[in-house]
């Protein structure tokens, strides 16, 4: 009997050692500091496709988290806010805004998440249970991708806007920064997002904020719901190609608050290789 109790106690003690206590002053890290601009090859930027909805009470938490991540990695995080699912259905008179789009719904169905808020981070982990991710894991996922350093493909953007015709044109140049030895099937996609839209949103306490500021709202795609193939783009280290597309803005979109996000992805793995963003000129 004593032997057994001794055995039990020693096992308990052994197991209890395997427990880390994080001291108070080490819990919160300072994410700024070494995340400034880097000379040399273009560094990898990370694309967050955020699934959200105006009647989803936890979605503002995810939006705050994304804002924090953007602040921690300035210029290296691009967000597309995709309003989809039951929580994006307008519920007039309280929640009248309809931010749903055909392209957004297609991406949502492609991601097939467990609900909102959730998102894709550079479309990594395709065909696994962690393809769409809960917002609590965005920060870590983004950091891991940022730490991969230089992007395989650099993106340079030029944008022009004809205010009278409300027509935006984008020209993107994709330049390899190394040999693409994994022979990707390259697609590029350009979308228009709008910031600073004021519309009612349900908050975490389930109350309504009639003047909530929605950012990164996906408005339209320049080139189809899943982009277009980047034809004739070689895999050599100095290969580069250029693609163009244009789009007419709806009358109620505020051009000055719009942004164009361009990304290039490998259709074999669905993973986004690089993304870039540029504001519409006034």
Site residues (vs other proteins, CB under 8 A): 1, 4, 7-8, 11-12, 15-16, 18-22, 24, 26-29, 31, 55, 57-58, 68-69, 72-73, 85-86, 89, 91, 109, 112-114, 128-130, 133-137, 139-144, 203-207
| CB neighbourhood size of 98 (10 A) | 13
Element (H, E) at 275: strand 272-279
**Closer by beta carbon to other proteins, 85 or else 176:** 85
Q: How far apart are CA 244 and CA 159, in angstroms?
A: 10
Please report how close the Cβ of residue 95 comes to other proteins at its closest, in angstroms: 10
Structure-block tokens of residue 138: 């965005």
Q: Up-side HSE of residue 250: CA atoms within 13 Å toward CB?
A: 11
How far apart are CB 13 and other proteins at their closest, in Å?
A: 9
Longest dimension (CA), the chain: 90
Residue 268 Cβ vs other proteins, minimum distance, rounded to whole Å: 19
Which CB atom, from 104 or from 184, has the smaller least distance to other proteins? 104
By beta-carbon proximity to other proteins, the closer residue of 67 and 166 is 67
Q: Which is nearer to other proteins, 29 or 164 (CB)?
A: 29
Closest contact distance (angstroms) between CB of 157 and other proteins is 26
Q: Rank residues 58 and 169 by Cβ distance to other proteins and give the closer one.
A: 58
**Minimum gap (Å) between residue 61 Cβ and other proteins:** 9
How far is residue 13's CA from residue 181's CA, in Å, rounded to a whole number? 51
Handedness of CA 109, 110, 111, 117 (dihedral sign): negative
Q: Are 262 and 170 in contact (CB under 8 A)?
A: yes
Which one, 130 or 160, has the nearer CB to other proteins? 130
Q: How far apart are CA 133 and CA 1, in angstroms?
A: 50
What's the rounded Cα separation, in Å, for the pair 111 and 180? Answer: 26
- 3-class DSSP state for residue 186? strand
Beta bridge partners of 153: 176
């Amino acid at each position: 009997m004593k032997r057994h109790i001794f055995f039990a106690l020693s096992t308990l003690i052994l197991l209890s050692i395997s427990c880390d206590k994080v001291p108070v002053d080490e819990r919160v890290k300072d994410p700024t500091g070494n995340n400034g601009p880097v000379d040399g090859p273009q560094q990898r930027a990370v694309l967050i496709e955020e699934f959200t909805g105006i009647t989803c009470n936890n979605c503002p938490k995810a939006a705050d988290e994304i804002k924090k991540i953007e602040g921690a990695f300035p210029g290296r995080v691009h967000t597309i806010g995709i309003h989809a699912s039951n929580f994006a259905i307008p519920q007039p008179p309280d929640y009248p805004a309809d931010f749903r789009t055909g392209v957004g719904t297609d991406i949502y169905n492609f991601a097939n998440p467990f609900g909102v808020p959730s998102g894709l981070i550079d479309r990594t982990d395709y065909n696994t249970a962690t393809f769409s991710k809960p917002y609590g894991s965005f920060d870590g996922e983004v950091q891991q991708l940022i730490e991969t350093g230089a992007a395989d493909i650099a993106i340079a953007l030029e944008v022009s806007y004809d205010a009278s015709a409300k027509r935006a044109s984008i020209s993107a140049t994709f330049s390899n920064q190394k040999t693409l030895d994994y022979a990707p099937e390259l697609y590029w996609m350009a979308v228009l997002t709008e910031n600073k839209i004021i519309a009612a949103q349900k908050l975490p306490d389930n109350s309504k904020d009639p003047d909530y500021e929605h950012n990164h709202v996906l408005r339209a795609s320049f080139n189809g719901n899943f982009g277009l193939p980047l034809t004739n783009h070689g895999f050599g280290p100095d290969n580069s190609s250029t693609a163009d597309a244009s789009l007419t803005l709806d009358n109620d979109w505020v051009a000055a608050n719009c942004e164009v996000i361009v990304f290039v992805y490998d259709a074999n793995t669905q993973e986004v290789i690089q993304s870039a963003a540029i504001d519409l000129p006034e």
